[in-house]
């Protein structure tokens, strides 16, 4: 059997940058022959010589070749950049291109969302996560910036660099995974034997973020993140989470000493505050997010349970498939990478409108972009 000959990256016209990852940058590209637009994720093999070829990339390729689902980004091919037929200097993963990511959409004021968008994308996200979990894969970096949206309304889960296969016998998994704002409390409290339920906490944060158009739990380091979780959801209780000390080794450092120190959940009030459209957050939405943000992983809803048992998807307005969504957003594209420039332009326009007054305060914290070292 002949080995596969990888094409050279020169078959694509490289255009502007779309994003930045742990092991390389992502660019928009166009096939010189077919003119098809793609996303090129550059893996610099020389820069990462201390690791050898990045294990995260090897895993990403293996996982994406094994998964085929409408809500999971498609890896089209792998191409290389060579110098005089030498060892490839860089390897590029070629993905299908999508005009938007969720962070770009939520951070672009010109884009007007409807309840239909939020409900459809919530369901599509859950369906993609369910497929992944059924196939024993955990993503470990679900966040709004890694959720791509096409002009046809389809949602795709992307950036699989921290994903890995999983089984119940795994005792010691990498702990510092998942970007801080989307990281579940068991990881913040030192858990190393975890399950696909860590992804479900992230899904709950993403769904809440779609209603708010800003992050739900926006800490700036591990300590502030766990503090914010407790202030928003209250302290976990022994009756709800009886084995918390075994699951969360560092819980004893945070456990309230008296009943007076025990915080109660303010999630309902938080979900209904500072909203563009408060009436969209119905009781069924709150119930869905509460169950996705359950402290006890065994009680936290799975993707399948959220899809089939949440009344949110069955209340009016009824769930719409991607093809029925209104996708004329008035902007050609919106990605996390382009947000600072777009937001600066919007602030300048707003400042001109108020005739030379002070610029509006824009102190929204940026989500931590750094990822952990290559995981086990």
* Gap between the terminal Cα atoms of the chain: 32
Task: Pick the catalytic residue from 25, 116, 141, 324.
Answer: 141
The Cα–Cα gap between 16 and 357 comes to 34
Task: Decide if 339 contacts 107 (C-beta within 8 A).
Answer: yes
Q: Count CA within 13 A, CB hemisphere, residue 27.
A: 15
Beta-strand pair 12-20/100-101 = unpaired
- Residue from 229, 248, 228, 223 nearest 238 by CA: 248
Other beta carbons within 10 Å of 88: 19
Task: Decide if 76 contacts 92 (C-beta within 8 A).
Answer: no
- Residue from 65, 66, 133 nearest 93 by CA: 65
Give the three-state DSSP class for 225.
helix
Beta-strand pair 75-81/37-44 = unpaired
Close Cβ partners of 317 (under 8 Å, ≥ 6 residues apart): 115, 116, 119
State the sign of the Cα–Cα–Cα–Cα dihedral 110, 116, 122, 128: negative
DSSP string, 158-178: ---TT-EE--TT-----SS-S
Does the active-site annotation cover 141? Answer: yes
Beta bridge partners of 138: 164
State the sign of the Cα–Cα–Cα–Cα dihedral 42, 43, 45, 47: positive
The Cα–Cα gap between 294 and 298 comes to 9
Residue 37's H or E segment, with its range, is strand 37-44
State the sign of the Cα–Cα–Cα–Cα dihedral 55, 45, 18, 94: negative
Catalytic site residues? Answer: 141
């Amino acid at each position: 059997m002949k080995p596969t000959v990888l094409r050279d990256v020169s078959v694509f016209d490289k255009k502007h940058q779309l994003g930045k990852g742990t092991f390389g940058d992502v660019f928009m590209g166009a096939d010189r022959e077919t003119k098809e637009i793609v996303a090129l994720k550059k893996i610099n093999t020389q820069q990462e010589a201390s690791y050898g070829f990045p294990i995260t990339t090897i895993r990403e390729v293996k996982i994406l070749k094994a998964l085929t689902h409408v809500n999971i980004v498609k890896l089209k091919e792998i191409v290389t950049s060579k110098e005089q037929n030498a060892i490839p200097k860089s390897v590029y993963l070629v993905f299908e291109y999508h005009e938007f990511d969720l962070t770009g959409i939520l951070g672009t004021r010109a884009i007007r969302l409807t309840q239909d968008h939020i409900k459809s994308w919530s369901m599509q996200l859950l369906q993609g996560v369910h497929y992944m979990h059924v196939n024993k894969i955990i993503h470990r970096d679900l966040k709004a910036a890694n959720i791509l949206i096409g002009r046809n309304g389809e949602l795709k889960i992307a950036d699989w660099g921290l994903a890995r296969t999983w089984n119940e016998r795994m005792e010691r998994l990498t702990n510092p995974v998942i970007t801080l704002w989307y990281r579940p409390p068991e990881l913040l409290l030192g858990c190393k034997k975890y399950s696909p339920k860590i992804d479900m906490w992230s899904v709950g944060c993403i769904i809440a973020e779609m209603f708010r158009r800003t992050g739900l739990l926006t800490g700036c380091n591990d300590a502030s993140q766990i503090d914010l979780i407790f202030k928003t959801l209250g302290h976990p209780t022994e009756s709800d989470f009886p084995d918390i000390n075994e699951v969360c080794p560092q819980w004893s450092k945070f456990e309230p000493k008296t009943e007076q120190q025990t915080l109660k959940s303010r999630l309902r009030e938080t979900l209904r505050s500072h909203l563009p459209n408060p009436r969209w957050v119905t009781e069924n939405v709150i119930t869905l997010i509460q169950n996705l943000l359950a402290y006890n992983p065994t009680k936290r809803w799975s993707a399948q349970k959220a899809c089939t048992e949440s009344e949110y998807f069955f209340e009016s307005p009824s769930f719409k498939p991607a093809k029925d969504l209104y996708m004329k957003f008035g902007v050609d594209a919106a990605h996390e990478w382009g947000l600072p420039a777009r937001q600066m332009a919007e602030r300048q326009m707003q400042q001109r409108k108020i005739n030379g007054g002070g610029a509006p305060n824009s102190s929204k914290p940026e989500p931590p972009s750094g990822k952990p070292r290559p995981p086990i």
